């Protein structure tokens, strides 16, 4: 057992997490002969994998994952036998899943909590199990996957497997001829209750624009499957425990005519839509209206979670009663948060901080609801927009309220990296909300940033993730993984790793990623540092010049954010990395460097097209031929490399490019 393992285990015990670990390592040192769980020794199998007579879907899948990765590590294929056919001439039996033998050892997995696994050595044998079933083990809402999670923990800890990105090339398994496991007694569940990086669906029809410009339908389907596998390997899921969330459900179009007084008052003295003419307006409520409060209770079924999220747009009621519930407003906003208190639409509703008002509203609704159901959970859903900043009136909520932290609105706060002062300020808002006693999740949007460019951050976003975890974060629901694995892969890998173990050091996660490039590890670190430094140095530039466009409108300014000359030094580093990788007899290192090169070349081709559009919806008349040629090259490149999953091309075309650019010019290409 490595020192590292001891440190991690002991640290978890100190922190009182859901981990029960006996520091058996001391025993190994005193009685080294006890460490006899030999899986492979000197290139020869020392173990067989034992299953129940009829293993569940989850156990069968877990066994396939175990055998597959042990083979990748050692070239040895372990035999799989049912309990009734256990051989007597092997050193080690690895029992995977619920078996009679495990029951005889007193391990009754059915009594374990959801998503929990046990890894335990008994003499020379090893048991890996948890709750399991015949439901789809890849379903993120299926909590009966303890056995599978145990296998993944085993592969990471004892085989050193690193899952960097979807697909085979993204799976790094250090080659070895010996796997010996120390005596171990471990019971553990994921540190976060629920864990999600949203991603786009991948059903593309054969003749669609998306299929023509990016992913073909078949590759999109395969990518989606590979992504599901990758997510589960990182123990993403637990979504059965995610409280429901949503925006305001009292619709102005249904109730506005009969009850205008339920909706926000504007400065002009009218109730309702402050932006007449805009389609499908979301209208804030006059939350102090008692009739409205009673109507919300009347509508409720008396059982389920009460979802009370505010509107998905800023601006709140300005009536005296509502304003009286507000906390003190800042006399001047911090320089990085002025938009938090400003009306970008120049309408006439209230744009200040309404956290205290809404906290009081949520509390009143819960008091009314508790008369029917004292255990009701109120999902306030989003700590966002006008309710992002922490309350200032010392209002107390408790564990019957759940809210998700969504940094947004002011562009200084939306994305990582951000100015240091902004970083400190959002942490204060988190702590302020935590102080109310509310249950908290994290639902940021910053992974949307960057389009197909080599844009990422690890240090600051990693630090915030760890800070949130240390301060009560129950789970996550990230919007969204845009799948730019070849240009933003380090950031994505870090997020996956932190989800399965938020206590890992950012430095260690980065080193894991670099190690997958073998002899080129040091150069790949320099390559990643080059781009992360570029992002940090340009924080204020990007905010100033790109404003809110960094979200969906990125293609309009990609050529300004990433002019072609900034790729030159990075490409030189990759060329050096390629030479270094080739010194290894194992071709995988060179292939991974080439994967990064594909991402850079794709970004360059995209920048060339973006420069022709030059921020416009349409291509200028005199550059049409040039644009057609640039697009033809880009699409050809995508088709040639899509099977590598270097980019979620469906997200690229459907969410970004076709939304911003008129691409009809190219239907004949």
Question: Which residues of the chain form contacts with Zn ion (CB under 5 A)?
Answer: 286, 317, 319, 322
**CA dist., res. 491 & res. 506, Å (int):** 10
**CA dist., res. 605 & res. 128, Å (int):** 48
CA 283 to chain centre: 30
Alpha carbon distances (Å) from 492 to 83, 446, 522, 598, 643: 40, 12, 19, 17, 19
DSSP string spanning 468-485?
HHHTTEEEE-BS-----T
Beta carbon of residue 272, minimum distance to Zn ion (angstroms, whole number): 12
Residue with tokens 């029809």: 205
Closer of 317 and 395 to Zn ion (Cβ): 317
Beta carbon of residue 284, minimum distance to Zn ion (angstroms, whole number): 9
Beta carbon of residue 380, minimum distance to Zn ion (angstroms, whole number): 18
Closer of 36 and 282 to Zn ion (Cβ): 282
Beta carbon of residue 265, minimum distance to Zn ion (angstroms, whole number): 6
Beta carbon of residue 268, minimum distance to Zn ion (angstroms, whole number): 15
245 Cβ neighbours under 8 A, 6+ residues apart: 307, 309, 379, 381, 382, 404, 443, 477
**CA dist., res. 551 & res. 415, Å (int):** 10
Closer of 283 and 319 to Zn ion (Cβ): 319
Closer of 327 and 502 to Zn ion (Cβ): 327
Question: Angle, to 10 degrees, between the axis of helix 146-154 and the axis of helix 217-233?
Answer: 80
Cβ distance 168 to 216 under 8 Å? no
Q: For the CA atoms of the chain, what is the radius of gyration? A: 27
Structure tokens at 46: 């020392």
Beta carbon of residue 361, minimum distance to Zn ion (angstroms, whole number): 10
Closer of 325 and 415 to Zn ion (Cβ): 325
Closer of 317 and 556 to Zn ion (Cβ): 317
Closer of 271 and 550 to Zn ion (Cβ): 271
Beta carbon of residue 298, minimum distance to Zn ion (angstroms, whole number): 20
Closer of 319 and 596 to Zn ion (Cβ): 319
Cβ distance 165 to 130 under 8 Å? no
Structure tokens at 106: 């007193």
Beta carbon of residue 338, minimum distance to Zn ion (angstroms, whole number): 25
Closer of 30 and 324 to Zn ion (Cβ): 324
Beta carbon of residue 271, minimum distance to Zn ion (angstroms, whole number): 9
Beta carbon of residue 285, minimum distance to Zn ion (angstroms, whole number): 8
Cβ distance 220 to 202 under 8 Å? yes
Beta carbon of residue 307, minimum distance to Zn ion (angstroms, whole number): 21
Strand partners of residue 402: 379, 439
Query: Burial of 305 by CB count in 10 Å (0-12 exposed, 13-18 middle, 19+ buried)?
Result: middle
Closer of 272 and 454 to Zn ion (Cβ): 272
**CA dist., res. 385 & res. 340, Å (int):** 7
Closer of 361 and 456 to Zn ion (Cβ): 361
HSE toward the beta carbon, residue 525, CA cutoff 13 A:
13
Closer of 120 and 360 to Zn ion (Cβ): 360
Beta carbon of residue 286, minimum distance to Zn ion (angstroms, whole number): 3
Strand partners of residue 38: 180
Closest CA to 248 of 321, 340, 313: 313
Beta carbon of residue 264, minimum distance to Zn ion (angstroms, whole number): 6
**CA dist., res. 139 & res. 619, Å (int):** 44
Beta strands 117-122; 162-163: pairing state: unpaired
Structure tokens at 326: 């507000």
Residue with tokens 């120390």: 182
Sheet (strand 47-51) strand order: 19-21, 185-188, 117-122, 125-130, 92-96, 47-51, 79-82
Strand partners of residue 440: 403, 473
Closer of 114 and 259 to Zn ion (Cβ): 259
Phi/psi of residue 639, nearest 5 degrees? -65, -40
């Amino acid at each position: 057992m490595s020192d590292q393992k001891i440190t991690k285990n002991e640290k978890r015990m100190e922190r009182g997490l859901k981990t029960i670990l006996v520091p058996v390592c001391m025993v190994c040192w005193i009685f080294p002969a006890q460490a006899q769980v030999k899986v492979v020794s000197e290139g020869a199998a020392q173990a067989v994998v034992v299953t129940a007579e009829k293993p569940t879907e989850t156990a069968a899948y877990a066994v396939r994952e175990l055998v597959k990765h042990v083979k990748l590590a050692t070239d040895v294929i372990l035999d799989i036998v049912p309990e009734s056919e256990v051989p007597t001439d092997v050193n080690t039996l690895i029992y995977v899943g619920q078996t009679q033998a495990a029951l005889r050892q007193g391990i009754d997995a059915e009594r374990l909590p959801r998503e929990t696994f046990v890894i335990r050595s008994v003499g020379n044998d090893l048991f890996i199990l948890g709750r399991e079933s015949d439901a789809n083990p890849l379903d993120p809402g299926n909590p009966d996957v303890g056995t599978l999670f145990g296998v993944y923990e085993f592969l990471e800890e004892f085989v050193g497997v690193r899952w960097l990105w979807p697909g085979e090339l993204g799976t790094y398994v250090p080659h070895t001829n010996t796997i010996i496991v120390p005596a171990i007694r471990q019971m553990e569940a994921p540190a976060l209750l629920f864990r999600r990086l949203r991603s786009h669906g991948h059903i593309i029809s054969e003749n669609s624009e998306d299929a023509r410009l990016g992913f073909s339908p078949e590759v999109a389907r395969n990518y989606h499957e590979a992504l599901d596998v990758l997510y589960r390997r990182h123990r993403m899921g637990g979504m059965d425990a995610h409280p429901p969330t949503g925006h305001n459900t009292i619709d102005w179009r249904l109730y506005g005519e009969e009850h205008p007084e339920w909706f926000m008052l504007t400065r002009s003295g009218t109730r309702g839509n402050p932006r007449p003419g805009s389609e499908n307006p979301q209208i804030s409520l006059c939350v102090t209206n008692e009739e409205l409060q009673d109507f919300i209770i009347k509508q409720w079924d008396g059982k389920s979670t009460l979802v009370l999220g505010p509107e998905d747009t800023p601006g709140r009621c300005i009536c005296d009663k509502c304003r009286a519930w507000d906390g003190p407003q800042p006399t001047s906003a911090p320089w990085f948060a002025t938009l938090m208190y400003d009306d970008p639409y120049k309408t006439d509703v209230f744009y200040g901080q309404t956290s205290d008002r809404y906290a009081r509203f949520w509390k009143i609704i819960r008091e009314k609801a508790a008369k029917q159901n004292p255990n009701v959970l109120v999902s306030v859903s989003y700590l966002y927009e006008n309710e992002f900043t922490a309350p200032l009136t010392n209002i107390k909520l408790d564990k019957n309220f759940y809210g998700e932290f969504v940094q947004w609105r002011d562009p200084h706060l939306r994305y990582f990296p951000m100015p240091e002062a902004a970083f400190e300020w959002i942490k204060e808002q988190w702590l302020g909300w935590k102080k109310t006693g509310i249950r908290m999740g994290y639902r940021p949007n910053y992974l949307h940033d960057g389009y197909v460019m080599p844009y990422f951050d690890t240090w600051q976003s990693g630090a915030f993730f760890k800070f949130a975890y240390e301060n009560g974060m129950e789970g996550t629901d990230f919007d969204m993984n845009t799948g730019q694995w070849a240009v933003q892969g380090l950031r994505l890998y870090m997020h996956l790793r932190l989800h399965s173990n938020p206590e890992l050091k950012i430095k260690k996660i980065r080193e894991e990623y670099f190690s997958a490039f073998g002899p080129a590890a040091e150069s790949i670190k320099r390559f990643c540092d080059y781009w992360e430094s570029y992002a940090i140095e340009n924080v204020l530039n990007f905010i100033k010049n790109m404003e809110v466009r960094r979200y969906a409108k990125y293609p309009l300014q990609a050529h300004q954010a990433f002019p072609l000359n900034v790729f030159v030094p990075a490409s030189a580093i990759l060329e050096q990395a390629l030479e270094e990788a080739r010194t290894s007899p194992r071709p995988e290192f060179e292939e991974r460097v080439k994967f990064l090169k594909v991402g850079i070349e794709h970004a360059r081709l995209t920048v060339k097209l973006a420069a022709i559009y030059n921020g416009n919806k349409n291509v200028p008349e005199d550059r049409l031929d040039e644009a057609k040629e640039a697009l033809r090259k880009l699409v050809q490149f995508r088709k040639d490399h899509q099977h590598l999953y270097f980019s979620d091309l469906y997200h690229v075309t459907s969410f970004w490019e076709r939304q911003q650019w008129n691409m009809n010019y190219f239907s004949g290409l």
